[in-house]
Chain A
Amino acid sequence: MAVVAQPHDAPEGHVINQTHAEVTRDVVATLGPPTRGYVLLLLGAVSLFLIGIATFLVLIKDGLGHAGYNPPVFWSVYITTFVFWVGIGHAGTLISAILFLFRSPWRTAVYRSTEAMTVFAVMTAGLFPIIHIGRQWIFYWLLPYPNERYLWPNFKSPLIWDVFAISTYLTVSTTFLVFGLIPDVAAVRDKVSGWRKSIYSWSSVGWKGTDNQWRHYSRAYLYLAALATPLVLSVHSVVSWDFAVGIVPGWHGTIFAPYFVAGAIYSGIGMVLTLIIPLRRALKIEHMIHSYHFDNLAKLTLLTGSILLYAYAMEYFVAWYSGNTFEQTTFYRRAFGPMWWAGWSMIICNAFVSQLLWFRKIRTNLTSLFVISIFINIGMWFERYVIIVSSLSNDYIPWAWDQMNPTWADWGILLGSFGWFGMWFLLFAKTFPIVAIQEIKEMIPMPRRRGGHG
């Protein structure tokens, strides 16, 4: 008795021709035994991760010297990658939280995967502050823990803001993800058997879906979304202040916070596309995530991409208009200096490539979208690389100017971070419903005896 239904507020084109039973079935199906391709992917990820570990061990043994640091460039690839991953996270929270508040229906099918991406991206980012410091074994000195020395951290330092922002972000988004999972895990629990059942029933913390539970749950979910929303905007603002608070020309910009947040969301969606385009095929859920979703994602990309275009233009304009020789030199060299290639690849990959998305054809063509998403990932990594390295390499004292070239130690850690991220994401996709069962069901009205709408 398959009932074809129109969701109340879904626009044309967004149809889920399924009953609740089928939704459960299909989603639970994604948790079946892993395919060959999946295993290979996982192995790939793990080996990358091992490369990262090996590199890190060498760094701990000898010191950071192996990396390409070349004073005055005291930060380079590690901080770049840190900002990159924090940025990735933002799209997830945007889609799962902000769009939830806006009651935008298309998020439903994709938000679980993006939320998972957020958590693992932030988990990855969280490693870098530890990796990049000179004495990794005492990173905990950045935490305000009572100690016999009576010493506390310096809360005026943006790095401490980071510690709080990142850990808060990780905690809240994890909570958000786990919280959303509970009813779905319960649904899975009731479908599987054996040891898996016992695991899922433990992790579904006794969810039954009673009216009372739903009553509190939906409320709480709303508040979590409401709390996560300012968090999205704040976290990357805080990260941007790492630079904006500094006096380095090219860092010291007032537009940094919005500029970084836009960039973060932009890069995040790029990563979302990169992830779910293959994923939906792999997990055979094309009928739940289809062109309609990608069209919306693409529009979001276009919006944030255009904001970036504006931000870039503004940076150069302000540098020129300020009449500040330091700013001017920095931005001149960013475009025509020794690192021109990085500068331009950032501008082209981010500001220009995203403009292609004005065309519906490109928006709805998964191949082109996938290619663009790759460009976005590269472009956004370079954006951070340029902002950090090129600004540092030529600041106030010309005598100190110098260039840096990344080394195997830099690339090793970078690859490792991708491995670490990929590993967790893949494991998650096989263990938990990557599509939100109960929210999809919420969009499919339950069958009625009298038919039609109530």
Chain B
Amino acid sequence: MTEESKPTIDRRRFLTVLGASSGGAIALSGCSTGQVEKLIPYLVQSEDQVPGVATWYSSTCTECSTGCGLHVRTREGRAVKLEGNPEHPVNQGKLCSRGQAGLQGLYNPGRLKGPMARAANGQFQEITWDDAIARLAGKLGPAGNKVAVISGAGRGTFSDLLSDWVRALGGRLARYEAFASEPLRAANRQVFGLDQIAAHDFGRAKYIVSFGTDFLDTGLASIEHARGFARSHGFSERDVAKMVYLAPRMDLTGLNADQWHPIKPGSEAALALAMANLLLTERGARGEGAALRGALSAFTPEAAAQETGLPVATIQQLAREFGAARPSLAVAGGAGSQHAGATEVCAAVNILNYVAGNIGETVRFGADLDTSDGYGALQPLLAALDAGQVDVALVHEANPAYTLPRTSGFAAKFQKAGFKVSTSMYLDETSALCDLLLPQHHALERWDDLRPRAGVHSLMQPVMEPVFNTMATGDLLLRTAKAMGGTLAGFNASSYKDHLQARWQGLAATRKETDFAAFWHGALQRGGVFTDPPAAPRVSLAPRGGQVRYTKPVFEGDGPFVFATYAHSLLHDGRGANKPWLLENADPVTKITWHSWVEVHPDTARKLDVRDGEILRLTSPHGSIEAPVFVYQGIHPDVVAVPLGLGHTEYGSYARGRGVNALDLLGAPAGDFLPYISTRVSVEKTGDYKSLASIAGNSRQLGRGIAEAMSLDAAKKGLTVEQAYLAEGHGKHEINTELELEAIKGWSERQIQDTKDGNYTGDHPRWGMAIDLAKCTGCQACVTACYAENNIPTVGETEIGKGREMTWIRIERYWEGGEEPGQPVTAHFVPMLCQHCSNAPCEPVCPVYAAYHTPDGLNGQVYNRCVGTRYCANNCPYKVRYFNWYKYNQVAWPEPLHLQLNPDVTVRARGVMEKCTFCIQRIRGAQNDARLENRVMRDGDVVTACAQACPSDAIVFGDVNDPASRVARLHQDHRGYRVLEDLNTRSAITYLAKVLLPAEA
């Protein structure tokens, strides 16, 4: 192919940056025959790097506070993929999109190249580290205790060091993060007197009620939750725990619920308390329950019905079902339901769980999940800033200038600090306000550890040379201490690594480990030290724990609609907005990429006479934003919602000026947390229109049986999809006569014979896949994994507008029901990728054999043979072939982003068709290894990127010809079906039908 992939970098930098390199390594495998003119050997050969062979390091994810374990795949000294660490108790080998995109944080073009200081002219100019540290020390000296530090760093050695450091200075420290679950913590304090956040065991729950908590996607420990949810709700134990979602808006968790009740915003507490009340009255109270009885008696179902807008019967039924299932689980909290009364909701839910006897069963205290202190802790510091009591302000791993609403006046207050320092890796909104930028190492470049929960000590290690001239903030603190001496003289560790190891010496001691070196290396290999969480403390009601309240929600302003904003599935609090993977990967609910949107209920849309894409102006007492409409059935008619995370004013070329910042509509937070649902807005049409950059075509299946589903009892009876249909009384859908059927049968047999003639005999593997729709939650971790593994270019907003996204695997989200009023709408997800058909319609039409069938049953695509007639794409009934309309390979990976490219996968040039290859590079790699070890391939030798990432383990890959393999067994599953089977494509992917609970069960 003629075009170079993104140039093979200027090689000198590669050396200096990566310290190592070798021919094939730098030659990022691109579709090019252009010569690499130089071969540059290692100066010193490191033992654990063999060119052409991947080296794996374990580390810890820092993209959110959950603290999942990582396995980092490195090639020739550069990280090329992030995967979950199977030994890590939190995520057990799985990783969400945000975590995987950490790689693009590492290679982000927006990263600061080195320390910078604001010059006289107000511009930043590069300085040396010595100079930088000197400047910082110089300012800290006179500042004395007038020092304020905002840190978003998770609980761990660094945080401890930082707080000691600040304490030594006598300064103020606030651990601040946007989504800190303050209400949960507060409620736990209030009800149980426990200042911690419990872990939730969704796996054991028989009945799940979520009061607006997006526990599968943006909530705490979503991977862990998805894993548990798949067990309880995924028909894995041949049963399905019912999940009810109670919130004004249906987020990804809501789409996975068996029932969604659109209650009025802010009324969750009333409902929870009424349920608790019903449980008590109907089940008779025992022990402490009796105490509660009085407190709860006020909360009648009728009152709740009044508040929520739900019929009394529904509430009663909810309560009964919830009580009947042991154990059950009710969850609350999260940005999506964070209104002024959020703490009351969490408290009420605590009571509900307590009454239902779930505490200690599915609600596990003692795990003590790590969250930052949040806005409450930030307030005094802001006050101090405002009062001008701060001379030196340091911001670390936090971006309050963006994550706090303008009305909070953070910028103004922050400006009052004499000297402002940021350790951010990027020039974000906060660091743009600073005088000194001391960019820290990315998590993959530094030594560190995290304690995301009790019993989990998770290590980070540098997996490669730093990409830029950055410094671990730990080292920065220590070197500054050295430079300053005085109060900081105590910090005398020679480097942060030594400090860390010293701390781990202590850990080793507590664990009676004698040989520290062995302990340390073992920990590094496993990714940390994992012990069982301390036994759950005896949880009982706090003295005043029973005194729960429900205050009617009040929303600022007098607009007709309540304005709701929520954590973006991929961009989170906005930290994802500089990573093309997260921008290009569609929001799992709306399937919109790259820009903001306003969710409006169809009825409301009809009233306002607006359609998808019409730009609305939302105006609250505090400001107004404009965004295109997305008409969404999953939202309360009185609510309009806009996701957080976009509308950056800084934060690199990808984020800057993209979309709108929903926070602009919020008022200055009064309480201990930031209420995301607190204002009313008026809505007006701007008359402008923007075609949504959505990857959704038609969201209805039109009865084509693409995402099949069957009722629970049908599934329990072991019926096939067709039998289930017949059982439901549908007529047999068969248009062929007996003779025709015979003919068709004979024909397909003839074709099977033909494929045998093409030496497809059993002695070859036949690669295949099984996807369990009962488990798939539509989280799209697989999509990001595919982008990362297969060098898929991101094409950008305009191209996606033309339907030209390159998602080799996409999650199709089909709406069911919701057509006539009153009928509930539900979503069916189906991951759609190349089906690797045996009778692939795409193959025979290719004039040059670029699409053909490999002996091991893959639907091969030879990029360098492809001339680009696109006939295969036309003829593919699954529409999973993607074409390089432009030279995407030259724009998708601006330096240094191209360092993330997987050297094992060809980068496709323009004019070439591409598609899912079942990660053939992994298959061939495994075959090579097996051959070197003189053995045959074993089941599990090959795991595709999507299967590896899937948090709920819905995707299984393997050899269908090997009857022992897991996938072969799943291919025999009674729920199994093939999409568009009537076309006799004999696809290699078997889908397992989703299992539905009867509407009223």
Mark A residues whose CB is within 8 Å of B. Answer: 62-65, 69-72, 74-75, 132-139, 141-142, 151, 153-154, 156-160, 163, 242, 245-248, 322-326, 329, 392, 394-402
Known: A64-B885, A141-B867, A142-B867. A71 touches B847 (CB 8 A): no
Contact partner of B866 (CB less than 8 A), chosen from A132, A134, A137, A399, is A134
B776 CB within 8 Å of chain A: no
B886 CB within 8 Å of chain A: yes
Output the least CB separation between B979 and chain A (Å): 8
Size range of the interface on B? 35 or more
The residue in chain A whose Cβ has the minimal distance to the Cβ of B806 is A71
- Residue contact A134 to B879, C-beta cutoff 8 Å: no
A71 to B810, CA, bound (A): 14
A399 to B701, CA, bound (A): 8
A323 to B870, CA, bound (A): 29
Output the least CB separation between B986 and chain A (Å): 14
Known: A71-B879, A151-B865, A247-B841. A399 touches B702 (CB 8 A): no
A-B contacts, 7 of them at CB < 8 A, read: A65-B799, A65-B885, A65-B886, A74-B883, A133-B911, A247-B875, A325-B704
B874 CB within 8 Å of chain A: yes
Output the least CB separation between A138 and chain B (Å): 6
- Residue contact A154 to B844, C-beta cutoff 8 Å: yes
Output the least CB separation between B934 and chain A (Å): 31
Instruction: List A contacts of B804 (CB < 8 A).
Output: 65, 69-71
Mark the stretch among B394-402, B469-477, B520-528, B691-699 that contacts chain A. Answer: B691-699
B871 CB within 8 Å of chain A: yes
- Residue contact B812 to A153, C-beta cutoff 8 Å: no
The residue in chain A whose Cβ has the minimal distance to the Cβ of B795 is A65
A397 to B695, CA, bound (A): 13
Known: A135-B911, A153-B848, A400-B697. A75 touches B704 (CB 8 A): no
Known: A64-B885, A71-B879, A247-B841. A139 touches B867 (CB 8 A): yes
- Residue contact B849 to A154, C-beta cutoff 8 Å: yes
Instruction: List B contacts of A154 (CB < 8 A).
Output: 844, 846-849
Q: Which residues of B692-715 have CB atoms within 8 Å of chain A's CB atoms? A: 696-704, 706
Known: A63-B885, A71-B882, A397-B877. A402 touches B697 (CB 8 A): yes
- Residue contact A64 to B698, C-beta cutoff 8 Å: no
- Residue contact B696 to A62, C-beta cutoff 8 Å: no
- Residue contact A70 to B870, C-beta cutoff 8 Å: no
A143 to B706, CA, bound (A): 39
B617 CB within 8 Å of chain A: no
- Residue contact A157 to B844, C-beta cutoff 8 Å: yes
B912 CB within 8 Å of chain A: yes
Known: A133-B869, A401-B698. A62 touches B882 (CB 8 A): no
Instruction: List A contacts of B812 (CB < 8 A).
Output: 397, 399
A402 to B697, CA, bound (A): 6
- Residue contact A159 to B847, C-beta cutoff 8 Å: yes
- Residue contact A62 to B887, C-beta cutoff 8 Å: yes
- Residue contact A71 to B886, C-beta cutoff 8 Å: no
Residue with the highest number of chain B CB atoms closer than 10 Å, among A153, A245, A399: A399
A96 to B625, CA, bound (A): 69
Contact partner of B706 (CB less than 8 A), chosen from A72, A133, A397, is A397
Contact partner of B911 (CB less than 8 A), chosen from A134, A323, A396, is A134
A65 to B793, CA, bound (A): 15
Contact partner of B883 (CB less than 8 A), chosen from A134, A156, A326, is A134
- Residue contact B874 to A246, C-beta cutoff 8 Å: yes
A62-B887, A323-B735 are known; give 14 further A-B pairs, CB within 8 A: A64-B885, A74-B873, A75-B870, A141-B865, A154-B847, A154-B849, A156-B844, A163-B847, A324-B735, A329-B702, A398-B704, A398-B814, A399-B697, A400-B697
A108 to B157, CA, bound (A): 98
- Residue contact B847 to A397, C-beta cutoff 8 Å: no
A239 to B756, CA, bound (A): 31
Known: A72-B879, A134-B867. A245 touches B845 (CB 8 A): yes
A242 to B913, CA, bound (A): 19
Output the least CB separation between B734 and chain A (Å): 10
A399 to B849, CA, bound (A): 28
B668 CB within 8 Å of chain A: no
- Residue contact A248 to B848, C-beta cutoff 8 Å: no
Contact partner of A157 (CB less than 8 A), chosen from B847, B909, B913, B983, is B847
- Residue contact A398 to B846, C-beta cutoff 8 Å: no
Known: A71-B873, A247-B877, A248-B874. A135 touches B882 (CB 8 A): no
Instruction: List B contacts of A398 (CB < 8 A).
Output: 697-702, 704, 706, 814
A137 to B868, CA, bound (A): 11
Output the least CB separation between A289 and chain B (Å): 41
Known: A157-B844, A159-B845, A160-B847. A137 touches B2 (CB 8 A): yes
A324 to B873, CA, bound (A): 22
- Residue contact B873 to A135, C-beta cutoff 8 Å: no
Mark B residues whose CB is within 8 Å of A. Answer: 1-2, 696-704, 706, 735, 799, 802-804, 810, 812, 814, 832, 841, 844-849, 865-871, 873-875, 877-879, 882-887, 909-913, 980, 983
The 3 closest A-B pairs by CB, nearest first: A134-B868, A134-B911, A65-B885
A395 to B698, CA, bound (A): 11
- Residue contact A248 to B844, C-beta cutoff 8 Å: no
Instruction: List B contacts of A158 (CB < 8 A).
Output: 845, 871
Output the least CB separation between B327 and chain A (Å): 38
A134 to B869, CA, bound (A): 6
Instruction: List B contacts of A160 (CB < 8 A).
Output: 847
A153 to B812, CA, bound (A): 35
A74 to B884, CA, bound (A): 11
- Residue contact A159 to B871, C-beta cutoff 8 Å: yes
Residue with the highest number of chain A CB atoms closer than 10 Å, among B804, B874, B878: B874
- Residue contact A325 to B912, C-beta cutoff 8 Å: no
Output the least CB separation between B817 and chain A (Å): 16
Instruction: List A contacts of B910 (CB < 8 A).
Output: 62-63, 134-135
- Residue contact A151 to B849, C-beta cutoff 8 Å: yes
A394 to B874, CA, bound (A): 11
The residue in chain B whose Cβ has the minimal distance to the Cβ of A392 is B874
The residue in chain B whose Cβ has the minimal distance to the Cβ of A142 is B847
The residue in chain A whose Cβ has the minimal distance to the Cβ of B802 is A70
Instruction: List A contacts of B845 (CB < 8 A).
Output: 156-159, 245-246
- Residue contact A63 to B865, C-beta cutoff 8 Å: no
A322 to B982, CA, bound (A): 14
- Residue contact A62 to B886, C-beta cutoff 8 Å: yes
Instruction: List B contacts of A71 (CB < 8 A).
Output: 802-804, 873, 879, 882-883
Contact partner of A396 (CB less than 8 A), chosen from B848, B884, B886, B980, is B980
Residue with the highest number of chain B CB atoms closer than 10 Å, among A62, A64, A323, A392: A64
- Residue contact B879 to A63, C-beta cutoff 8 Å: no
The residue in chain B whose Cβ has the minimal distance to the Cβ of A394 is B698
Instruction: List B contacts of A326 (CB < 8 A).
Output: 704
Known: A72-B879, A397-B878. A138 touches B698 (CB 8 A): no
- Residue contact A399 to B698, C-beta cutoff 8 Å: yes
A245 to B885, CA, bound (A): 25
- Residue contact A246 to B875, C-beta cutoff 8 Å: yes
Instruction: List A contacts of B846 (CB < 8 A).
Output: 154, 157
Output the least CB separation between A120 and chain B (Å): 25
- Residue contact A397 to B832, C-beta cutoff 8 Å: yes
A392 to B697, CA, bound (A): 13
The residue in chain A whose Cβ has the minimal distance to the Cβ of B887 is A63
A323 to B737, CA, bound (A): 13
- Residue contact A134 to B884, C-beta cutoff 8 Å: yes
The residue in chain B whose Cβ has the minimal distance to the Cβ of A138 is B867
Instruction: List B contacts of A133 (CB < 8 A).
Output: 867-870, 911
Known: A72-B873, A72-B879. A142 touches B848 (CB 8 A): yes
A245 to B803, CA, bound (A): 26
A401 to B697, CA, bound (A): 5
A395 to B909, CA, bound (A): 28
- Residue contact A141 to B848, C-beta cutoff 8 Å: yes
Output the least CB separation between B613 and chain A (Å): 14
Instruction: List A contacts of B735 (CB < 8 A).
Output: 322-324
Contact partner of A247 (CB less than 8 A), chosen from B1, B706, B849, B983, is B983
Instruction: List B contacts of A247 (CB < 8 A).
Output: 841, 875, 877, 983
